[in-house]
Every structure is written in structure tokens, then in C-alpha cells.
Amino acid sequence: MRFSRMYIPTLKEDPTEAEVISHKLMLRAGMIRRLAAGIYAYLPLGLMAVRNVERIVREEMNRAGAQELLLPGVQPAELWQESGRWEQYGRELLRFTDRHQREFCLGPTHEEVITDLVRHEIRSYRQLPLNLYQIQTKFRDEIRPRFGLMRGREFIMKDGYSFDVDDRMAEKSYHVMFEAYDRIFKRCGLNFRAVEADSGAIGGSFSHEFVVLAKSGEDAIATCSGCSYAANLEKAERACPVSKAVNDELPAMEKVATPGCGSIEEVCAFLQLEPEMTIKSMVYESDRGLHLVVVNGARQVSETKLKALLGVPWIALAEEDGIAKAFGARAGSLGPVGAGVEVIADQEVGLMPPLVCGANKDGFHLRQVVYGRDFTADKIGDVVEVRAGDACPRCGAPMELVRGIEVGHIFKLGTKYSKALSATFLDQDGKEKLMVMGCYGIGIGRTVAAAIEQNHDEQGMMLPYALAPFKVALLCLDTKNEEVVAYCDQLYRQLQERGIETLYDDRNERPGIKFKDADLIGMPLRLTVGRKSYARGILEVKKRRSPESMEIPVQDLSQLWHVIEEMAADDQGISSL
């Protein structure tokens, strides 16, 4: 493609609307433009990158035995009412009515539609397993869209769904998708981890997120330094410290005045303690009422884990009034001893030496509090967030926390949707059974953004070869010189004949502009032809990622073809597995 004929509106300065690097660079490189909050147009260059991800996704999904289809974006309310999600989904689901006052929504995901399709057609175990996917625009009316393509409201997603005869086969399908995802993100040239994730209220038995490691990522993940364990912070577990013997000779619990001390810090400063020696008491509210959650004073409650342990759909910190009524004390002076509500204790609390906690009386705390002697819990479990340095639950080595961008997520769904929508089949014994489902998503635009987050420098993008819209930038620096132009034209033809996607900068612009644009949009290889270098009979070849360029004689380009083949090898190497 000739640059002079392609619509690539590059920007010299960072647009104010963008904060993160991928968003800035995609706007500057003329890949995307914003239409409304979280809604973007893909310009030619941006679409080419998107198509490259899609191509890899299609190849790997098809290879894994999945079949592509395309479902409607507009979905009738009845299906969502049938699954119960019309009420559950909340405001992210954009609803509207047609001219006949029938209710519809814009599809944020397609479990209902695909299950509806399959339940009408599949009757026999002989027709299973089935794995169907699509690549399509989704709409989720996000509370807070941000960071360009990273969290849009309208976004391109690959969503796939598997249907199996039983749990065991469904797990096999899940595993096949896991492997496919692993290959997809490798081929995209990304540095990523597959991490264990919270499967949420979906009730699935397991779930993995594919997370691209990047400082700007919205997700925190815990990874083990000693083994392959990696998990979303929401889900990450830790090995608990060894139990400390508690004997009867411990001094009895006593009440101490702590005037004006509310927070853990204040209490610790007043009593000269470390936060580890205290119990933090938090009151949460759910549809089952109030819960007093007690954890080590140095730790944070994980609301996701708490929700899972309680088995409730939502929790929130209780209001002051409710706390005062239930405890007769304010939030800074609460504790599990004599509490009038259900007590949930983190697993660690029972293993700790005598502790300090609130006395359920304003201005007083208790010390020498021992679990089992002075109080017990109604429920014990893992309800705290993992911290850097915590021991890995698998091998005990210290874990570290890193940030990442979730680009893919796979779930074993089980029978949630097949049950709600009665998607059944007859097994070998002629018995009717529910199909066991899985679902598998990839954010296509987000994958492009993540690749940029991970591959850039001050000058611009350094897209992985597989994703780059063009593999080669050919810069003709002197468009007035007929010889130079003739040579560039000829070189351009040679590149085309070899099937190498080339952006030929034939614009009548100064060299500086061409260099800046080439670096900005970050094509893997740059070929430069100027009057002087041409006169010397050499072609300047520079990799975007390398600071030095090499000079190749114009008469013998074999070295050039070799370099390009090498760069392409990663993608093709994996795809020919």
C-alpha cells in the first residue's frame, strides 16, 4: 500500500482524552477514533491489526475443532427472562423496545442465544460434542468505560461455547480450549500467564483468565516464584502460617481503655503493638443480614472470597446505623467476643497467638483474646487478599503480585444455561440429560491494545510481527529524484511479489516526517532509500526493535529476504505445529 493513498491520520501530539500508552498511540497512529464514551471507530490501520488477531483466533479455534457462526447482536427479552438474567444482569445490559413495544437488548454475551439454537437442533448424544464460536461486536453499558479499546462499551469479542454429554467430556473440551488459547496468545507475541480465576456466581467448577503482563493492567494477579501457580488476586490463596500452640497458662482476656482509638493504626500506636497482633473486625451486610468478619489486623478482606464463602450474590459494608444497633458500639471498637451477629473468621485467626480486638464498647479494646477460648466463629475460611511475599498454596515459595490485562477468559459453565433453557439430549440408554457447557471469550481489540502496552518505546509502537498491519515500511526519502523513485517502485514490486505486506511511504514529505510516522506506527522492519545511500548502492535496513541499522547491497537482496523470513518464523513456526 502506498502511504500517499492510505487513510492514516497520524497525530503529532498526545490527545488529551487518552491516559494510557496504548490508547494514546492508537489515536496518534490513526488506528482508532472515539465516537462516544467507550465507543470507537476502527480506521484502516487499526482494523488491519484487529483482523490479524482475528485471523490467528480463527485458525486456532478451527484447528481445535470449533466451528464459526455468527449470531444476532439484537436479542429478544424472552430468552433472557427464561435464563433469569433479564433481572440479574443489571444496567450493563442495554435494553430497548421495538415499534411493537417488544423488549430487546444488545447482546453483551450469547449464552442464551447459542443455547436456544442448540436446544432446538441437538437431540442425540451422537451429535455431541459441539463447539461453536463467533467473532462479533458486543455491547456492555459499562459503568466506567476507559483506556480506549481496553474497556470499551462496544467491543469486538470472540465468544465460543462448548456442549458435551457429561462433566468429564466438558472438562476435556475445556482443556482443548485452554491449549488453543495458549497458542493464540503465543502467536500474538504476548507475554502472558494463564491464571486461576474466580468463577463468580456462574457456579462453574473452574475458570482461567489469560492475562497479559503490563504495568497499566487493571487486574492484580499473584504468581509464585517457585512453581507455575498463578491466580487472580480475587481468587489467589496462600499457605497458612503454622499453628502456634495455645495452652491454658495464657493470661486471661482483659479489657483496656483505648480512648479515641478507632483505626488499627491508632490502636497499635496507643498500645504499642504491631498490626499483626490485632484482629480487624468488619461488618458486612448481605441478603442474609449482618456478618462480622474477623481477619488479621494487617490484612485486607477480599469481598470476592467473602461472597463465595457466604454463598450470597452480593455483599456491602454495613451502614453505621445498622452497626450501632447490632453492636451498641461504633465501627472502630468492634470485635468477635460476644458479638450478636454471625461471625466469619479468616482461617489464620484461629492459628494466631493472643490478640487485641475491639470490645464492642466505644473507647475500649480487649487483649489476650484467644480463639476457641474467648470466642468462636460460625464459619471459618479464606477471606483475605493475598499480599506479596505470602507463601504459595502449592509449593510454599513466596508469591509476588503483578498487574495484567485480561485478554481471555474460559469457564466451565456446567448446566446453568442448559438447565434454565432445557437444552437436553438422549444418551445411549435413551435417558434425557442436560448438556454440559463451557464458554470461552477473547477480547480482540483489547488484545491489540495489550500488545501495544507491552511493546512500545518513546517513539511509538513496536507491534509483534503477527499483529503488525504491515510487516515492512519502505521509505523513499527523495521523491523528486527519478532514479531513487524508480528504484523504490521496483523494490516495492519485489516485496509485493513475495507477498510481504509493505507500506510504501511515497509521500512528498520531508524525511523527518517519514521516520517519525514509521516509528509511531511501528512496523517491524524499515527500509530506507535516500539519494546518497542509493548512489552508494546500498539499502538501509532497520528493525524497529533494534537501535542499529544494517546496510545491504542493492545488487544482492538475499540478506533482506533472510531477515524477513526470520522475523516471520515465530508466527509460522507455531501455526505449523
Partner RNA sequence: CGGGAUGUGGCUCAGUCCGGUAGAGCACUGCGUUCGGGACGCAGGGGUCGGAGGUUCAAAUCCUCUCAUCCCGACCA
**Nearer to RNA among residue 162 and residue 278 (C-beta):** 162
517 binds RNA (CB under 7 A): yes
Note whether 358 and 281 are within 8 A (CB).
Answer: yes
- Give 3 or 425: the residue with its C-beta nearer to RNA: 3
How would you list the strands of the sheet with 95-97, edge to edge? 74-76, 103-106, 95-97
Grid cell 470449533 is found at 66
Cβ proximity to RNA: between 96 and 102 the closer is 96
The H-or-E segment that residue 174 falls in is helix 167-187
Distances (CA, A) of 190 to 9, 185, 297, 570: 27, 6, 39, 12
Name the one range near RNA by CB under 7 A: 36-44, 257-265, 288-296, 420-428: 36-44
Which CB, 362 or 453, lies closer to RNA?
Answer: 453
Q: What string marks each residue from 240 to 279 as x (binds RNA by CB under 7 A) or -?
A: ----------------------------------------
Q: Note whether 511 binds RNA by CB under 7 A.
A: yes
Q: How many residues bind RNA (CB under 7 A)?
A: 71
Distance in angstroms (rounded) separating the CA atoms of residues 511 and 520:
14
Decide whether 499 or 547 has the Cβ nearer to RNA. Answer: 547
Distance (Å) of CA 265 to CA 272, 278, 302, 370, 545? 10, 10, 20, 21, 49
Residue 508 CB, nearest distance to RNA (Å)?
A: 8
515 belongs to the binding site for RNA (CB under 7 A): yes
CB 132 → RNA: shortest distance, Å? 16
DSSP labels for 254-269?
Answer: EEEE-TT--SHHHHHH
Whether a cis peptide bond, with omega within 30° of 0, leads into 9 is: no
Shortest Å distance, C-beta 355 to RNA: 27
Nearer to RNA, 37 or 388 (CB): 37
C-alpha 217/C-alpha 209 separation (Å) is: 13
Measured in whole angstroms, how far is the alpha carbon of residue 395 from the centre of its chain? 25
Least distance from RNA to the Cβ atom of residue 22, Å: 11
| x/- letters, 67..106, toward RNA (CB under 7 A) | -------------------------x--------------
* Cell numbers given for 174: 475445556
Pick one of 431, 510, 545, 562: the residue that binds RNA (CB under 7 A).
510
For the CB of residue 19, give the shortest distance to RNA in the complex, in Å: 4
**Listed ranges 10-18, 73-81, 285-293, 415-423: which one lies at the site for RNA (CB under 7 A):** 10-18
Contact predicate 43/546, CB 8 Å: no
Which of 487, 459, 457 lies closest to 474 in space, CA to CA? 487
Interaxial angle between packed helices 44-63 and 167-187, expressed in degrees from 0 to 180 and rounded to the nearest 10: 140
Q: Which of residues 469-498 bind RNA (CB under 7 A)?
A: 477-478, 480
Name the minimum Å distance from CB 386 to RNA.
15
8 A C-beta contact, residue 410 and residue 177: yes
Among 215, 255, 493, 532, binds RNA (CB under 7 A): 532
Minimum distance from residue 261 beta carbon to RNA (Å): 25
Determine the Cα–Cα distance for residues 455 and 463; give it in Å rounded to an integer: 6
* Interface of this chain with RNA, residues 38 to 57, rule: CB under 7 A: 38
- In which residue are the cell numbers 511475599 written? 389
Q: What are the residues facing 106 on neighbouring strands? A: 74
Question: In terms of CB distance, is 34 or 387 closer to RNA?
Answer: 34
Q: Which residue, 384, 454, 398, 382, is CA-closest to 223? A: 398
Shortest gap between Cβ of 330 and RNA (angstroms)? 21
Among 516, 550, 568, 575, binds RNA (CB under 7 A): 516
Q: Which stretch binds RNA (CB under 7 A): 6-14, 73-81, 247-255, 374-382?
A: 6-14
Contact region with RNA (CB under 7 A), list: 33-41, 115-123, 126-134, 566-574: 33-41
| Max CA pair span of the chain | 98
Site for RNA in 193-222 (CB under 7 A): 200, 209, 218-219
Nearest to 444 by CA among 410, 408, 412: 408
Residue 5 interacts with RNA (CB under 7 A)? no
> Binding residue for RNA (CB under 7 A) from 369, 488, 520, 564?
520
Closest residue by Cα to residue 116 from 170, 60, 169, 76 = 76
**Closest CB 215 distance from RNA, rounded Å:** 12
Alpha-carbon dihedral angle through residues 377, 382, 388, 391, given to the nearest 10 degrees: 100
What would the x/- binding string for RNA be over residues 351 to 370, using CB under 7 A?
A: --------------------
In the complex, minimum distance from the CB of residue 290 to RNA, in angstroms, rounded to a whole number: 19
Q: Is 452 in the site for RNA (CB under 7 A)?
A: no
Binding mask 298-337 for RNA (x = CB under 7 A): -----xx---------------------------------
Smallest distance from the beta carbon of 83 to RNA, in angstroms?
14
Q: Restricting to residues 105-164, name those near RNA by CB under 7 A.
A: 109, 140, 142-147, 149-153, 155, 157
Question: How deeply is 431 buried, as exposed, middle or buried, from its count of CB atoms within 10 A (0-12, 13-18, 19+)?
Answer: exposed
CB 560 within 8 Å of CB 540: no
- Residue 373, classed as helix, strand or coil, is coil
CB atoms within 10 A of CB 11: 13
Looking up cell 482476656 gives 253
Shortest Å distance, C-beta 166 to RNA: 24
Beta bridge partners of 193: 211
**372 to 431, contacts with RNA by CB under 7 A?**
406-409
* Nearer Cβ to RNA (424/479): 479
Which amino acid, residue 370? V
